Structure 1
Amino acid sequence: MHINPDHYLSTAQGRVFTKERNIQAWQCCFDAFKHVLKTNLKVKVIYILIGCQGAGKSTWAKNQISREPENIIFDAILVKQSERLPIIEQAK
């Protein structure tokens, strides 16, 4: 599963970003992450991608998920440890 907040910000008119939509997008990501952890017993690897926008994280994620569809890729900037911590804690 490829989890990315940008997926939840996309609309027919393109990506729409507001503070409220951003909060909602992140909540959707965490909800999806929790759901797949509970329901997909085949998950062996959780990738947490870290890096600036445009660095190629999403391209790498798309290629990787085609080879490892059972695993999870959490794809966002995530440069601060405090941003990654909820993902790591949930994965434990």
Structure 2
Amino acid sequence: MSATHQIVINPDAFLETDHGRVWTAERNEAAWAWCYAALEQALSRLPRPGRVILVCGIQGSGKTCWIASQPVCPATVYFDAALPGIRHRARIVAIAKQADMPIEAVWIDTPVAIALSRNACRPADQIVPEAAILSVAGQFEPPSLAEGFIRIHVHKGG
């Protein structure tokens, strides 16, 4: 693993093609399977002590930018996705626990209006439908220690 690059797992990366990001229900399902496998593989190679940081928040909240602003640490894996509910985060937490890696949560808490504005400025193939952002915002459950996180950071985006 390179000490010069962040280790980031994001389902959107698995939706990229030579012609831009392509989303279908089938491709999305496969992207999540690839993400879970990539997380397991990354954790098996991670230097000890290592950690997983699950970065969640509505689409357009600034998750990817926040990760990019963090210092490179070859013993840290970032998981970058909306992950609005406990049920959405549970498998990632379980994979980290199975690998005996501590897992932290970072919630990028951004007002919906700001996320929608940022989303509108994305390249056409990366724009998330407004209804999807509003749906995720409506479902969002703040991460809690009860889920298995050792620490939770709330970053006010915007």
TM-score, normalised via structure 1 length: 0.90
Structure 2, unpaired ranges of 5+: 1-6, 98-158
The total of aligned residue pairs comes to: 91
Offset of residue 16 of structure 1: 0.1
SS at match of 2:69: helix
Offset of residue 50 of structure 1: 1.1
Query: What are the equivalent positions in structure 2 for 1:5-44 lying under 5 Å apart?
Result: 5-42=11-48, 44=50
**Match of residue 58 from structure 1:** 64
CA distance in 1, matches of 2:31, 2:40: 14
Match for 1:71 among 72, 76, 79?
Answer: 76
Identity across matched positions, percent: 37
Match for 1:90 among 86, 95, 100?
Answer: 95
Q: Which amino acid aligns with 2:91?
A: P
Moved over 3 A (4+): none
Higher relative contact order (CA 8 A, sep 6+): 1
Considering only CA atoms, is the larger Rg found in Structure 1 or Structure 2? Answer: 2
Q: Which amino acid aligns with 1:59?
A: C
Residues 25-50 of structure 1 deviation map (CA, whole Å, 9 limit, x = unaligned): 00110000001111223352211111
**Match of residue 101 from structure 2:** none
Answer 1 or 2: which has greater strand percent. 2
Answer 1 or 2: which has greater helix percent. 1
CA distance in 2, matches of 1:62, 1:32: 19
Is the Cα–Cα contact under 8 Å of residues 42 and 71 in structure 1 kept in the other structure?
no
Residues 59-82 of structure 1 deviation map (CA, whole Å, 9 limit, x = unaligned): 111222x52233100000001100
Note the aligned Cα RMSD (angstroms). Answer: 1.3
SS at match of 1:52: coil
CA distance in 2, matches of 1:13, 1:67: 30
Structure 1, unpaired ranges of 5+: none
Is the Cα–Cα contact under 8 Å of residues 48 and 74 in structure 1 kept in the other structure?
yes
Q: Which amino acid aligns with 1:4?
A: N
